[in-house]
Structure 1
Amino acid sequence: MKTRKELRKLKSILKKVKQKEEEVSKLSDKQLAALTSQFKRRYQEGETLDDLLPEAFAAMAVADERILGKHPYDVQIMAGIALHLGFLAEMSTGEGKTLSATMPLYLNALTGKSCVLVTTNEYLAIRDGKEMGEVYEFMGLSCSYPPANADEEDNEKRKIRYSADIIYSTNTGLGFDYLFNNLVKKADDRFLCDLYYVIIDEADAVLLDMAIMPLVISGVPRVQSNLYALCDFFVTALVQDIDYIEEEQAVWLTPKGVEFAENFFGIPNFYGKEYFEINRHVTLALRAHVLLKRNKDYVVTDENEVELVDAGTGRLMHGVKLRGGQHQAIESKEKVEITQEFRTVASITYQNLFLMFEKMAGMSGTILDAKDELFDTYHKKVVRIPTNRPVIRDDRKDLYYKNAQTQFWSAVAKVLEVHKTGQPVLIVLNSVQDTDLFSKLLLQENVPHNVLNANNAFWEAEIISGAGQLNAVTVATSMAGRGTDIKLGEGVRELGGLAVIGVGRMDNTRNERQARGRSGRQGDPGFSQYFVSLEDDVVNSEDNEKLEKIIDGKRRITKHRLKKIINGAQKIKTEYSEISRKQAVQYDEVLKRQRSFIYEARDGLLDGGTLAETQLIEIARRNIHEFVKENDCSDRSVLTRYILDNVSYTIDEGLTTLRLDDKEAIERYLVSRVRRGLGSQRMKFQDRDKYEQFIREATLKALDDGWVELIDYLEQLKYAVSGRASAQRNIIYEYQNEAYESYLDNEKTVKRNIIRNILLSEVSINKKGNLNVIYP
């Protein structure tokens, strides 16, 4: 294995830690806690974290034992070393990832910078933050975790939470906090810590499974489109393989379909810029009808509302909507009330969020399978940490079936066989619908059981922890209760440990390994087995008619061929997911540099930066030059409109005597009007600082308004170009080209609005000395 070299390095450092631990263990509690200030001083005097690692890890290992009653195993210390060195560590389920993280978090917090541990849900962040926080506080470091009432947390409370030495958070919480932190209007409202060191728990789920969809903050509602119903009606008339093609979770119009669209809407060029909205809405409607399936990707509730289903967990995503109008297109398809579409005001992918950290590491029970993608995307190596005790779980061969009925009843029969012995059984399925179906089958057989489908991580953790008790039968989706160990009850070891029955081929082998790993923790006995069939969701054959004949028993098939079709479908699904994640990165890469520039400019303004009058004049000069070059200034009404919209609400005599055939004279005149306008606004302020504050806020508003327009347009553009995936059209290339053009246009708009905001705003100072501005 390629990780042998890394393991040798980890073992070498482990040896040093164990040697130091002998010395540290002799210290009193007071002496042990005092080591933190000593380590900090030594770091400030020039020692590196690598220099301090053996002693700091030894100190934390001893503290873990004294405060938590848990002494890290050697393999946990090795994992901690790997996390400090920036690896993605694969640790089998039940090997104690939470405890492993205490050591690298402690070491890196000695720098005085906040260190973050990110996990997949609030339950885990709160549970681990509370428990591990005790040992950090004993060692003189502060620790924070999400509040139970996160919705009520204001920026001041967030500032306190993010000022802690060690911060436990969720991936979504951190992501949205990053975006909100870059939307504040005042420097004092910023709350986020520097992005220094992060450990990502359940790293495969966060960095891969959840990384397809970007995090998005919505703002003001947009004008509601009247095209949804019309385009929905249009796509119902399309014929597959004639008017449109579906392939690998993508759909696009054929040349014949494009011609049909042009005739239907009475337009000459379906892909013309002027028909962008028609193109976008047709694409959204086509995706809604062809790619997005009811009761799989979304459900329609009893209240006639469309709610999304999380593919990874099977849970309903209350309040979450697809962006760019896709949610409204589904609502139109389902003939329910179309909800308001909102503008996107901020967006980022997990890939680019975590790549902003100076140091990043992660841990998971199943991450080695995706090592190549993780290295390509995050430039991180994966190292597999040995288990503390040998794994003796019996992973039995998969059983393959032609149809779901035989598959499910065979799995039920196996559950009944095992349950009769008292051995606990965990049945893992792909979706909420499948858990409900399997539960009904068990009820028919009078088998008492619990059903977990990732709806509530708090109480699910309590139930899943009891799944290893005598006679327990638990039905769950693959993500339900993840992060909570299943410990065997009394007498269960003698019965063979926990039995894991998987029903349905999952989207990837990682999820199946995760499910199998719920059994056999820390050398426990147990077994796992999967029951799969041609009717599993992951199986998608191009020859559906042939497949249906096999499923119905009208056509024979060998076991080898059956296995090849089902496993091949999983491989294709895995590859498609990887392509989708890469595409998400490519889309966001366009915004990455621009977002970095905008946020840097915002921070500069918030921190007191401003534009000197010479800079404002130069911006205005360029604005005016562009205007004169692009417009017919021989028409005096054109100049009048420009002045009223951008420079002043009054027209002076100079305009009436201006020679309209002299472009340079026109530019000089307009620049002089800008100079006068700036002077007029400046005279309203007795306090120079207040005037500069006004310039800052006017500039910030122009910057923010332009940024919102740009990312909102690009969010829509993603869906529009996805409908161009026909031959000879590279959608990423087209997106990048159009995005770059829109960025250049947006840059001109921002510069125009900076001057406009300064010259045309109504400005006053109230009795308390606060600045009041009414922008044009």
Structure 2
Amino acid sequence: MKDRRIYKILEKVKSLEGTMRSMTDEDLQGMTAKLKAQLKDGKTTDQILPEAYAAMCEADRRILGTMPYDVQILGAIALHKGYLAEMFTGEGKTLMATLPLYLNALTGKSTILVTANEYLASRDADDLRPVFSFMGLTERAGVPREPGEPLTNAQKKENYAADILYTTHSILAFDYLLNNLVDRAEDRFLREFCFVIIDEADSVLLDGAQMPLVISGSPRVQSNLYAMTDFFVTTLKEDRDYEKEDKSVWLTDRGVEYAERFFGISDFYAHENFEINRHVTLALRAHVLFEKQSDYMLSDDGEIVLLDNSTGRSLPGMKLRGGAHQALEEKEHVKLSQEQRSVASITYQNLFLMFPKMCGMSGTISDAKRELFDVYHKLVFVVPPRKKVQRVDRKDRFFASAQEQFEAALEETLTRHRAGQPVLVVTATIQDTQIFSRMLVDHKVPHSVLNANNAYWEAEIIAEAGQMNAVTVSTGMAGRGTDIRLQDGVQELGGLAVIGIGRMENLRLERQARGRAGRQGDPGSSQFFVSLEDEVVTAMTGEKTAPYIDGERHISQGKLRRLINGAQKTMVEQSVSSREQSVRYDKILRRQREILYGARDRLLDRDTIQKDVVRRLIIDDLRIFMDENPKLTHGELTRFALDNLTYELDPEKLPEPGRSRSDRQRLLERLENYADELYDRKTAMFKDEEQLQEYLRQCILNALDDCWIDEVDYLQQLQYAITTRGTAQRNPIFEYSREAYQSFGDMKKTMKKKIVRNFFLGDPQTGKDGRMNIVFP
């Protein structure tokens, strides 16, 4: 999209360049106070943008030694206007971001830049802190300085209080969830969200958006169904008992009938068989959708270690949610780890939609502009390159077999290496980097291999990929965010040559790979070598291509091209569909989350709890108890009173329950009177109204948190189990929505019971610090 208003604003910024250049350092620094005052007097950020950007451009020149180019200012204006800006690799997105960060930080509201990994967040924050400090703003990196050393709440509070924060999308998401789990208002560390820039926006908003981020808490009672359902799944046959499509697998009607016979149940989808259904689904996914050495591996000590095959990263310590990890462990016959309950969950879509002002930047985002508008309501602005792109993008070469593909790629690599030209080989999977590395070793070619295992040293290695004679083999994401600068003399050899091996999951990933070469008008080239054995193709076509790979049937170049490109197109469509489904699932949870988090905040902010509200909860609880027990015995009545009302029961207060309606009505009235008496006795324990209010708040907060954890955990499990219901002529989203609505209603009823029980049976104690500590029943 081309917005003419942005070009007009650029002219205004440029017209102030001379004025800023003539200022002393003190006058330039004084612009911050001047602009803040203008905002305080009623001006908007749009109105002060030209002056703010011109001042920051001059500050960048003086402190960093680099003046933003016109295209960087253009992109910076687009970011402030809320666009997702596509800017070619190497054009200077990091410097460009200083302008909108400075402008929005002047408002005093939270201003955050999130990027792909902790190394980039730390590096960029350190590099740019001097210029922000020069202009009188505080800036922090919200990431641990040492891996494995989490930040304390006090450190987080200091970081988020800074004018500008650099962090990662995953840390921000988990911090949001953790901020809504604190017990005291003073432990909260987040400010209200306002302005965010998302670096590598396509990676975050699209590629990383399918899997919810989940915080796990207390362990769940370990199920004994994993072994039984694992054995059951090993007896199934594809196409007869189950069907597979992309990243989904489900039982056929015949498979469902077999499951009902195997487990001795009448309705596989009945609510009472939820756990069997869930465990069968988990075992089926573990065996059919997860491949060893591709999606996970076994460590030396027999633990499942997850792999991110698109980036090549191993993910030590990370576990699949909802019992999926234990299903994998059962499949591999290793010791089952303790299954954890899900305490809180959110997707990136819903996290970033909470920001009133959200924008992003990437080298490749325009290909997904329709999806980005549909999900995030964001338009894409393509920033023109500063210099004409000199890179030569050669036509893809298509092969039937992987052997032909790799040999051709190797020949191209060797040819360019012998001439001294640097070569960057980008593969679609981790395994392909390993295969190609072995081929280079066989030909005695020195090279570096990047599997995206360590972002710190990856950046150093990828930065050297433009040296003469260098050969670097990398997965697509490794070292992303780091420029590849060419050594003197490399331009004359043709610049960096990018050789891609394998059709990638989408065109954006391939454009990212090509964009490594031809930085800021440098020469360079790119070419992809693809085959019918690429993972994308086999995942989408199954065994249909086997005769062509084996040479049993001839295939023309035209059909080869259509099959391979068609497989990528199908995968893109399925990925979009999967992300849309993820949005729908989390949208349902988001409504519940907003209600619960809003209630938590009101409690932490010490809202007054009216006494009649508590009394009404007590009466509701008593009436629910009576309704649920139409044939109540005296023993059940006594048990209820001891479990919910008082440990010091007066037997005379509980008459023998009758059977008639009038008897039950009299009993209810007696119970209500007894509860009133106990209420007065309880409230008399507190020295003043403030102490009573604190007690009530903690009672409600404890009940709210316990019930919400159960709800989140149940909905996480439900998502896994619900996927098979599409084969039972049911809409999975509708089923999930219906059951989530019902479970939310059940949660509210349980919450009322817990609040009443906490109020009557809670034991308030005062600690040495003077704070109230409550022992809950």
TM-score by length of 1: 0.98
Tell me if 1:491 matches 2:492.
Answer: no
Residue 24 of structure 2 is matched in structure 1 by 28
**Structure 1 residues 250 and 442 mapped into 2: Cα distance closer, same or farther (>3 Å)?**
same
Residue 222 of structure 1 is matched in structure 2 by 220
Shift of 1:642: 2.1
- Letter matched to residue 672 of structure 1: N
Could you tell me how far apart the structure 1 residues matched to 2:309 and 2:598 are? 36
- Letter matched to residue 90 of structure 1: E
Shift of 1:180: 0.6
Could you tell me how far apart the structure 1 residues matched to 2:613 and 2:85 are? 51
Q: Counterpart of 2:537 in 1: which secondary structure?
A: coil
Shift of 1:546: 4.0
Residue 696 of structure 2 is matched in structure 1 by 695
Could you tell me how far apart the structure 1 residues matched to 2:541 and 2:468 are? 46
Residue 656 of structure 1 is matched in structure 2 by 655
Matches within 5 A, 1:252-267: 252-267=250-265
Matches within 5 A, 1:3-82: 3-4=1-2, 6=3, 8-82=4-78
Shift of 1:483: 0.1
Residue 436 of structure 1 is matched in structure 2 by 434
Could you tell me how far apart the structure 1 residues matched to 2:492 and 2:128 are? 33
Tell me if 1:141 matches 2:137.
Answer: yes
- Letter matched to residue 74 of structure 1: D
**Structure 1 residues 766 and 99 mapped into 2: Cα distance closer, same or farther (>3 Å)?**
closer
Q: Counterpart of 2:198 in 1: which secondary structure?
A: strand
Residue 110 of structure 2 is matched in structure 1 by 114
Shift of 1:627: 2.2
Tell me if 1:463 matches 2:464.
Answer: no
TM-score by length of 2: 0.98
Tell me if 1:101 matches 2:100.
Answer: no
**Considering only aligned residues, what root-mean-square deviation do their CA atoms show, in Å?**
1.3
Select which of 313, 323, 327 maps to 1:329: 327
Q: Counterpart of 1:723 in 2: which secondary structure?
A: helix
Residue 406 of structure 1 is matched in structure 2 by 404
- Letter matched to residue 306 of structure 2: L
- Letter matched to residue 758 of structure 2: N
Matches within 5 A, 1:373-772: 373-540=371-538, 544-649=542-647, 650-656=649-655, 659-661=658-660, 662-726=663-727, 728-766=729-767, 768-772=769-773
Matches within 5 A, 1:137-216: 137-145=133-141, 146-149=143-146, 151-216=149-214
Shift of 1:633: 4.3
Could you tell me how far apart the structure 2 residues matched to 1:672 and 1:588 are? 44
Write out per-residue CA displacement over residues 188-215 of structure 1, whole angstroms, 9 at most, x where no aligned residue: 1000121000000000000011111111
Could you tell me how far apart the structure 1 residues matched to 2:270 and 2:408 are? 56
**Structure 1 residues 548 and 768 mapped into 2: Cα distance closer, same or farther (>3 Å)?**
closer
Quick check: 2:540–2:567 contact (8 Å CA) kept in 1? no
**Structure 1 residues 544 and 694 mapped into 2: Cα distance closer, same or farther (>3 Å)?**
closer
Could you tell me how far apart the structure 2 residues matched to 1:410 and 1:303 are? 39
Could you tell me how far apart the structure 1 residues matched to 2:767 and 2:116 are? 47
Could you tell me how far apart the structure 2 residues matched to 1:467 and 1:541 are? 32
- Letter matched to residue 487 of structure 2: G
Shift of 1:636: 2.3
Percentage of pairs with the same residue = 54
Could you tell me how far apart the structure 1 residues matched to 2:621 and 2:310 are? 50
Select which of 116, 122, 128 maps to 2:124: 128
Shift of 1:173: 0.7
Write out per-residue CA displacement over residues 82-113 of structure 1, whole angstroms, 9 at most, x where no aligned residue: 00000000001001001111000100111111
- Letter matched to residue 47 of structure 2: D
Could you tell me how far apart the structure 2 residues matched to 1:424 and 1:26 are? 44
Write out per-residue CA displacement over residues 199-242 of structure 1, whole angstroms, 9 at most, x where no aligned residue: 00000000011111111100000001110010000011111111
Could you tell me how far apart the structure 1 residues matched to 2:769 and 2:358 are? 46
Shift of 1:637: 2.5
Shift of 1:545: 4.3
34-43 or 288-297, which deviates more: 288-297
Shift of 1:575: 1.1
- Letter matched to residue 51 of structure 2: E
- Letter matched to residue 36 of structure 2: K
Number of residue pairs the alignment of both structures matches: 772
Q: Counterpart of 1:725 in 2: which secondary structure?
A: helix
Quick check: 1:251–1:725 contact (8 Å CA) kept in 2? no
Shift of 1:310: 1.2
Write out per-residue CA displacement over residues 446-496 of structure 1, whole angstroms, 9 at most, x where no aligned residue: 110011110000011001001001111000000000000000001000111
- Letter matched to residue 646 of structure 2: S
Shift of 1:46: 0.5
Shift of 1:147: 3.3
Could you tell me how far apart the structure 2 residues matched to 1:411 and 1:362 are? 35
Q: Counterpart of 1:219 in 2: which secondary structure?
A: strand
Could you tell me how far apart the structure 2 residues matched to 1:561 and 1:541 are? 18
Write out per-residue CA displacement over residues 675-734 of structure 1, whole angstroms, 9 at most, x where no aligned residue: 222222222222332221111111100000000000000000001101222152211111
**Structure 1 residues 173 and 546 mapped into 2: Cα distance closer, same or farther (>3 Å)?**
closer
Could you tell me how far apart the structure 2 residues matched to 1:281 and 1:482 are? 38
Could you tell me how far apart the structure 2 residues matched to 1:688 and 1:660 are? 42
Quick check: 2:425–2:473 contact (8 Å CA) kept in 1? yes
Could you tell me how far apart the structure 1 residues matched to 2:330 and 2:553 are? 40
Shift of 1:657: 5.2
Quick check: 1:621–1:667 contact (8 Å CA) kept in 2? no
Please list every run of 5 or more consecutive structure 2 residues that lacks an aligned counterpart in the other structure: none
**Structure 1 residues 633 and 691 mapped into 2: Cα distance closer, same or farther (>3 Å)?**
farther
Could you tell me how far apart the structure 2 residues matched to 1:710 and 1:651 are? 36
Q: Counterpart of 1:595 in 2: which secondary structure?
A: helix
Please list every run of 5 or more consecutive structure 1 residues that lacks an aligned counterpart in the other structure: none
Could you tell me how far apart the structure 1 residues matched to 2:752 and 2:156 are? 33
Quick check: 1:636–1:660 contact (8 Å CA) kept in 2? no
**Structure 1 residues 407 and 379 mapped into 2: Cα distance closer, same or farther (>3 Å)?**
same
Q: Counterpart of 2:426 in 1: which secondary structure?
A: strand
630-639 or 208-217, which deviates more: 630-639
Write out per-residue CA displacement over residues 124-180 of structure 1, whole angstroms, 9 at most, x where no aligned residue: 000100111111110000000023136342111110111000000000111111111
